[in-house]
């Protein structure tokens, strides 16, 4: 990028910029500039090869350079601008690394009259407690956030160059205005540093002889780690950002004195609420961070092999969602076992914690829900983020429409593109007020209409368990009867679980009715294994010659067993063993022995009963003799991805004749080859192509598999345990 790069201040940050710029080939020659009292450090930098030459005065240092990085403490910026002014050249790109931006801009304004357009203020959110060039690291900025705060008059060309430069060093660049940058950093970085310094200062003075510190454990070290940072630098940062920092310190003092009062009064309940809220809030911050630092996972499956042995796939996703929802609304304590500890179900769990429900766990599938009763939910302090989970969003829309508070439901990119009018329109007919985007998608802004919803008689235009469940949940808060008529049977977990919680709900033929006259009484829920997760192995064991597996304790609710019926119609051998009923849901062990499959015309009546299993069934069809035709399944186009198009694309890449139609697919069974396919972030597509490897002639590489964690976090381990030769590779990137 640059022939000559000048770094002013070759310490930890400046040295790391130099090392990374050299390593990643961004600068041919790197020049250091420092003060007279920094000469030893500069010599060291030179001897370590971090810089190519150094100077103690700006004139020779900035001569003919293309870019200058100001890596000096923020308190020194005014004097640096003063020294650079006589040599300032509009063609040279200048950026800095200061942790506060208003003070740097004020210094530039003071010296130049206005901030020069070729100066792009920047702040890498990266550092270490160590200082000096010997601590410099090439990877200091790798996968770290960096904020640039351009001004109105900053040249766009300079912004582009600075952005590319920092990205070239491995950072994720965001743009922010100066004020916001300083406010955000005051709260998340400067205040915690002040706290750490102040605490250690206080305890240190009290205890010069180390009697306390020798008993300090991990918690103390974690909390005070940042008090080992460079005190000069942090003094300067705090002084430079005092306008943002002082009000925060005042708020914190008020919070501490509130805690003190609670302690004096022995008010354990209030203390618990503060601690518990803080714990949840921290988890939410971490989730947000993880959500914004996305992981990219690639699966590689080696061809051939067979599946053998026993396995228990994780808990049913649909039932896990509903256990949290109804358990939260129940009176008393609900114990859940077999809960699915995967992102979708955890998003529902977090949403209810955000609405004040105390939920313990999950720990090894066990969750304890301290139900708050039908009217006990509290207004969430923030938007409810539901990740990738359509079920969470659609069911919550119904439940929240009739609450006494407003709420906002958000989700990831895929969920934010999925149709929500199917629930918001009938809810509006009940009197709900829900704003969506113009396209009828999330975020959903719900104005709570407690006591104002009316029942509805709704013939569902599509067979959807989510729409049915959404309206039943709204119906629990509506005046009069809410009745939903289904065009075809869909999963009935909501109805079964309401009955398990003693809430009156009546089903007559294809019509379900509910009203507000009821309450939920806490119950125990044993979540069976998810047949939708089992489906990958039902197909895998059917297509891979020599396979013989048993899948334990799988939910075989008749509204979910379409996959077994379809595979059996194709000639598969699936035995249902040890049938039982647990908590109102039928379960069994499923034994599958490989058999040659034949293509079939899939009966449309089975489509809603196997709706999530089609990605796996398409693989079965690709391995079957003859043609398989699916129709009446247009719903597949609006799942986590367009499952018709994405599966057809992947199958074609693998050499299969797969013709997508508006409402299904025509697949000619054939020989599966290898190749690279894309799951488009859809968990079920990723897992379907993974089991296809069993019949492929060479390796299949599947991109974008991170969302397997939404429904089946231990898929890789379980698939390998049964015999699939599957590897995964991970990389992180910023969304």
Nearest-CA neighbor of 344 among 293, 282, 407, 415? 415
Residue with tokens 């003799």: 625
**Distance from C-alpha of 479 to C-alpha of 406, rounded to nearest angstrom:** 20
Q: Is 350 helix (H, G, I), strand (E, B) or coil?
A: helix
By DSSP bridging, strand 524-526 and strand 331-337 are parallel
For the chain, give the number of residues.
735
Q: Which of 594, 679, 667 is nearest to 640 (CA)?
A: 679
Least separation, in Å, of the C-beta of 635 and ligand SPQ?
Answer: 6
Query: Closer CB to ligand SPQ, residue 357 or residue 616?
Result: 616
Three-state SS at 665: strand
Nearer to ligand SPQ, 134 or 642 (CB): 642
Q: Which of 468, 465, 603, 610 is nearest to 531 (CA)?
A: 610
35-43, 129-137, 167-175, 463-471 -> range binding ligand SPQ (CB under 6 A):
463-471
Looking at the Cβ atoms of 66 and 635, the one nearer to ligand SPQ is 635
* 427 phi and psi angles, rounded to 5 deg: -65, -40
* CB of 699 closer than 8 Å to CB of 673: no
The least distance separating ligand SPQ from the CB of residue 445, rounded to whole angstroms, comes to 21
Q: Residue 82 or 635: which CB sits closer to ligand SPQ?
A: 635
Q: Select from 92-100, 146-154, 156-164, 383-391 the region that touches ligand SPQ (CB under 6 A).
A: 383-391
Interaction between residue 99 and ligand SPQ (CB under 6 A): no
| Residues that are catalytic | 612
Contact in structure between 107 and 81 (CB atoms under 8 Å): yes
Q: Is 585 in the site for ligand SPQ (CB under 6 A)?
A: no
Q: Which of 229, 407, 466, 707 binds ligand SPQ (CB under 6 A)?
A: 466
Q: Report in angstroms how near the CB of residue 363 gets to ligand SPQ at its nearest.
A: 23
Rounded to 10°, the helix 493-500/317-329 angle is 40
Closest approach, Cβ 216 to ligand SPQ, in A, equals 46
Interface of this chain with ligand SPQ, residues 133 to 192, rule: CB under 6 A: none
Q: How far is the CB of 2 from ligand SPQ (least distance, A)?
A: 47
Q: Is 213 helix (H, G, I), strand (E, B) or coil?
A: helix
Nearest approach in angstroms of CB 319 to ligand SPQ is: 8
x/- site string to ligand SPQ, residues 44 to 83, per CB under 6 A? Answer: ----------------------------------------
Residues contacting 25, CB < 8 A, separation 6+: none
- The binding track of 325-344 with respect to ligand SPQ, each residue x by CB under 6 A or -, is -------------------x
Q: Rule CB under 6 A: say whether 711 interacts with ligand SPQ.
A: yes
What's the CA gap between 620 and 647, in Å, rounded? 12
| Residue 467 to residue 645: CA distance in whole angstroms | 24
Tokens at 653, concatenated: 């890449």
CB of 381 to ligand SPQ, least distance (A): 25
Among 449, 684, 695, 716, interactor with ligand SPQ by CB under 6 A: 684
- Which one of residues 73, 315, 390, 540 is an interface residue with ligand SPQ (CB under 6 A)? 390
Which of residues 33 and 633 has its CB atom nearest to ligand SPQ in the complex? 633
The pair phi, psi for residue 68, each rounded to 5°, is: -120, 130
Residue from 13, 84, 330, 465 that binds ligand SPQ (CB under 6 A)? Answer: 465
Residue 611 in the binding site for ligand SPQ (CB under 6 A):
yes
* Mutual angle of helices 242-265 and 178-185, in 10-degree steps: 30
CB of 317 to ligand SPQ, least distance (A): 6
- Total of residues contacting ligand SPQ (CB under 6 A): 18
Give yes or no for a contact between 291 and 283, defined as CB atoms under 8 angstroms apart: no
Element at 301 (helix H, strand E): strand 293-301
320 is an interface residue for ligand SPQ by CB under 6 A: no
Q: Which part of the chain contacts ligand SPQ (CB under 6 A), choosing from 100-108, 374-382, 511-519, 632-640?
A: 632-640
Contacts for 363-368: CB closer than 8 Å, 24+ residues apart: 365/315, 365/336, 365/337, 365/338, 365/339, 365/340, 365/341, 365/527, 366/335, 366/336, 366/337, 366/339, 367/323, 367/324, 367/327, 367/335, 367/336, 367/339, 368/333, 368/334, 368/335, 368/336
Q: How far is the CB of 469 from ligand SPQ (least distance, A)?
A: 6
- Near ligand SPQ by CB under 6 A, which window of 75-83, 323-331, 634-642, 651-659? 634-642
101 neighbors 178 (Cβ within 8 angstroms): yes
Using CB under 6 A as the binding rule, whether residue 640 contacts ligand SPQ is answered as yes
Neighbours of 411 (CB within 10 A): 25
Residue 557 contacts ligand SPQ per CB under 6 A: no
318 binds ligand SPQ (CB under 6 A): yes
Residue 616, judged by CB atoms within 10 A of its CB (0-12, 13-18, 19+), counts as buried
Candidate segments 172-180, 286-294, 387-395, 431-439, binder of ligand SPQ by CB under 6 A: 387-395
Q: Which two tokens stand for residue 388?
A: 């990738």
The CB-side HSE value for 462 (13 A sphere, CA atoms) comes to 17
Residue number, 193 or 639, with CB nearest to ligand SPQ: 639
Instruction: Please give the Cα distance from 468 to 498 (Å, whole number).
Output: 13
Which one, 97 or 340, has the nearer CB to ligand SPQ? 340
**DSSP β-bridge partners for residue 148:** 122, 175
- Given the complex with ligand SPQ, which of 323 and 403 has the nearer CB atom? 323
H/E run at residue 317: helix 317-329
Which one of 70-78, 189-197, 462-470, 500-508 is the stretch in contact with ligand SPQ (CB under 6 A)?
A: 462-470
| C-beta of 243 vs 410, nearer to ligand SPQ | 410
Structure tokens at 175: 């743009």
Please identify, using beta-carbon distances, which residue of 418 and 716 lies nearer to ligand SPQ.
418
| Nearest residue to 423 via CA among 385, 472, 388, 378 | 472
Helices 343-354 + 268-292 axis angle, to 10: 140
Contacts of 579 (CB under 8 A, 6+ apart): 556, 586, 587, 588
Single residue of 241, 464, 529, 561 touching ligand SPQ by CB under 6 A: 464
Q: Is residue 529 within the footprint of ligand SPQ (CB under 6 A)? A: no
Q: At residue 341, what are phi and psi to the nearest 5 degrees? A: -90, 65
How far apart (Å, rounded) are the C-alpha atoms in residues 95 and 72?
11
Least Cβ distance, residue 356 to ligand SPQ (angstroms): 24
Closest to ligand SPQ by CB, 173 or 539:
539
CA 259 – CA 262 distance, rounded (Å)? 5
Considering only residues 298, 348, 389, 557, which one is a binding residue for ligand SPQ as defined by CB under 6 A? 389
Stretch that binds ligand SPQ, among 170-178, 244-252, 461-469, 510-518 (CB under 6 A): 461-469
Of residues 553 and 684, the one with the C-beta less far from ligand SPQ:
684
* Closest CB 287 distance from ligand SPQ, rounded Å: 17
- d(C-alpha 668, C-alpha 622), whole Å: 6
Shortest distance, position 591 Cβ to ligand SPQ, whole Å? 25
Q: Decide whether 351 or 611 has the Cβ nearer to ligand SPQ.
A: 611
Piece in contact with ligand SPQ (CB under 6 A), picked from 160-168, 231-239, 464-472, 713-721: 464-472
Instruction: In angstroms, give the least distance from the CB of 54 to ligand SPQ.
Output: 58
- Identify the residue among 612, 614, 648, 680 touching ligand SPQ (CB under 6 A): 612
Euclidean distance between CA atoms 141 and 622, whole angstroms: 46
Angle (deg, nearest 10), helices 683-692 and 715-722: 20
For ligand SPQ, the binding residues (CB under 6 A) are: 317-318, 344, 389-391, 464-466, 469, 491, 611-612, 635, 639-640, 684, 711
């Amino acid at each position: 990028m640059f022939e000559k790069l000048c770094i002013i201040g070759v310490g930890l940050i400046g040295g790391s910029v130099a090392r990374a710029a050299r390593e990643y080939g961004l600068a041919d020659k790197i020049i250091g500039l420092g003060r007279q009292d920094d000469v030893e450090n500069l010599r060291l930098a030179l001897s370590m090869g971090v810089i190519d030459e150094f100077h103690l005065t700006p004139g020779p240092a900035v001569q003919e350079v293309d870019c200058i990085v100001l890596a000096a403490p923020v308190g020194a910026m005014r004097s640096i601008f003063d020294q650079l002014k006589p040599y300032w050249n509009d063609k040279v790109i200048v950026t800095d690394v200061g942790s506060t931006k208003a003070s740097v801009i004020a210094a530039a304004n003071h010296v130049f009259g206005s901030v020069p357009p070729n100066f792009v203020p920047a702040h890498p959110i990266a550092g270490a407690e160590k200082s000096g060039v010997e601590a410099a690291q090439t990877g200091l900025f790798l996968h770290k956030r960096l904020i640039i705060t351009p001004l109105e008059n900053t040249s766009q060309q300079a912004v582009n160059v600075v952005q590319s430069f920092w990205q070239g060093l491995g950072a994720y660049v965001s743009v922010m205005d100066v004020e916001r940058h300083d406010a955000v950093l005051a709260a998340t970085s400067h205040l915690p540093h002040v706290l750490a310094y102040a605490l250690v200062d206080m305890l240190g003075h009290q205890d010069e002889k180390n009697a306390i510190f020798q008993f300090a454990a991990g918690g103390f070290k974690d909390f005070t780690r940042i008090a080992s940072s460079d005190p000069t630098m942090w003094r300067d940062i705090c002084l430079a950002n005092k306008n943002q920092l002082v009000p925060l310190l005042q708020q914190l003092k008020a919070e501490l004195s509130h805690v003190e009062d609670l302690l004096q009064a022995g008010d354990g309940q209030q203390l618990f609420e503060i601690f518990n809220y803080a714990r949840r809030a921290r988890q939410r911050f971490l989730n947000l961070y993880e959500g914004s630092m996305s992981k990219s996972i690639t699966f590689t499956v080696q061809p051939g092999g067979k599946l053998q042995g026993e396995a228990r796939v994780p808990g049913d996703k649909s039932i896990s969602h509903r256990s949290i929802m109804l358990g939260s609304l129940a009176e008393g304590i609900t114990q859940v076992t077999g809960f699915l500890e995967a992102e979708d179900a955890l998003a529902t769990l977090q949403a209810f914690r955000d609405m004040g429900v105390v939920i313990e766990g999950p720990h090894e599938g066990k969750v304890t829900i301290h139900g708050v009763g039908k009217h006990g939910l509290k207004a969430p302090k923030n938007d409810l983020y539901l990740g990738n989970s359509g079920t969470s969003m659609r069911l919550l829309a119904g439940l929240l429409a009739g609450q006494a508070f407003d709420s906002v439901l958000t989700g990831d990119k895929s969920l934010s593109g999925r149709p929500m009018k199917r629930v918001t329109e009938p809810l509006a007919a009940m009197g709900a007020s829900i704003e969506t985007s113009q396209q009828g998608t999330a975020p959903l802004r719900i104005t709570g209409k407690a006591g104002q919803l009316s029942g509805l008689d709704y013939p569902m235009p599509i067979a959807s368990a989510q729409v049915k469940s959404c309206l039943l949940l709204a119906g629990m808060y509506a005046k009069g009867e809410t009745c939903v008529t289904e065009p075809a049977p869909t999963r009935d977990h909501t109805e079964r679980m309401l009955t398990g919680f003693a809430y009156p709900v009546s089903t007559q033929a294809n019509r379900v009715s509910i009203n507000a006259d009821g309450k939920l009484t806490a119950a125990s829920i044993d979540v069976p294994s998810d047949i939708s997760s089992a489906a990958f192995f039902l197909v895998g064991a059917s297509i891979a010659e020599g396979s013989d597996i048993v899948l334990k304790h799988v939910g075989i609710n008749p509204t979910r067993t379409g996959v077994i019926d379809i595979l059996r119609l194709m000639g598969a051998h699936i035995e249902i063993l040890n049938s039982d009923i647990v908590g109102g849901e039928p379960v069994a062990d499923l034994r599958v022995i490989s058999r040659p499959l034949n293509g079939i015309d899939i009966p449309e009546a089975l489509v809603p009963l196997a709706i999530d299993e089609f990605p796996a069934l398409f693989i079965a069809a690709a391995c079957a003799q003859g043609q398989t035709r699916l129709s009446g399944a247009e719903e597949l186009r609006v799942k986590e991805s367009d499952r018709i198009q994405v599966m057809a694309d992947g199958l074609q890449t693998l050499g299969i004749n797969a013709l997508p139609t508006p409402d299904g697919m025509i697949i000619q069974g054939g020989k599966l080859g290898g190749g690279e396919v894309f799951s488009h972030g859809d968990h079920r597509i990723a897992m379907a192509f993974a089991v296809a490897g069993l019949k492929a002639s060479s390796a299949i590489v599947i991109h974008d598999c991170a969302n397997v964690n939404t429904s089946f976090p231990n898929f890789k381990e379980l698939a390998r345990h049964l015999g699939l030769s599957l590897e995964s590779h991970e990389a992180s990137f910023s969304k």
